[in-house]
Amino acid sequence: MADGAVPKQDRSRATRRHLLETAIRCLANHGWETSTVGFIAAEAGISRGAVQHHFRTREALILAALEHMFAERAALLDALPDPGGSGPERVHAVVTGLVDAIGGELFRAALQVWTVAAAEPELRSAVVPLERHFARGVHHRAVRLLGVDDTDPAVRALIQATLDLARGLALADVLTDDSRRRAGVVRAWSNQLAAALPAADPAEAGADRR
């Protein structure tokens, strides 16, 4: 291997990561129509030719960007420490983490793609599996962090309701800063969820960390 081979590979990976993160930011802040390959390249400070070296089409770039950001959010959830304690405070910490992971810049970017995909079957067929994979991963992590058994249909429904709530709060935050109202809703739902769920099992919550 040539002496410069590894640094070159590192630079290529860093460029790709920067490009994916820029694509998400462009989608979230400027929308689908504006976020062309040329626009994303300019925002990233990369030539259009260099972008097309990594991704032949805009759709390929956007899908890779979403997959990258979904993986980043999943990693953040995996890195959350065990909330400790029990009852409403534990549940509140978990729900807050889920709401933060689902919302924000990634949600705004994904919303742009979903809107276009709704009318374009080919794009939709590529986006739906990504979204389902992310949703399953978030559900699994919620179960782990809460330390509950989601083979119980009632528990599973409560977890799904929590994730649906998180998406709804993310949508409400798209046009205006909804942080104050969102915090109140998260607290109220956390109290209701803590009362409805069986007591968390700390051993279950930590099982997947080993």
pLDDT digits (tens, 9 = 90+) for 175-205: 888 788 889 999 999 999 999 988 655 454 4
pLDDT value of residue 11 = 80
Helix/strand number for the chain, H first, E second: 10, 0
For residue 32, report the phi and psi dihedrals to the nearest 5 degrees: -65, -50
Sign of CA dihedral 133, 139, 145, 149: negative
Burial class of residue 73 (count of CB atoms within 10 Å of its CB; 0-12, 13-18, 19+)? buried
pLDDT of the residue at 157: 95
Q: pLDDT tens-digit profile of 66-103?
A: 888 888 878 877 777 676 666 788 899 999 988 888 88
**Residue 186 carries which side chain, given as an amino acid letter?**
V
Residue ranges of the domains in the chain? 5-207
* pTM for the structure as a whole: 0.78
What three-state secondary structure class fits 34?
Answer: coil
The correct answer on CATH 3.30.70.580 for the domain covering 5-207 is no
Tens digits of residue pLDDT in 23-81? 999 999 999 999 999 999 999 999 998 898 889 899 899 989 988 888 887 887 777 76
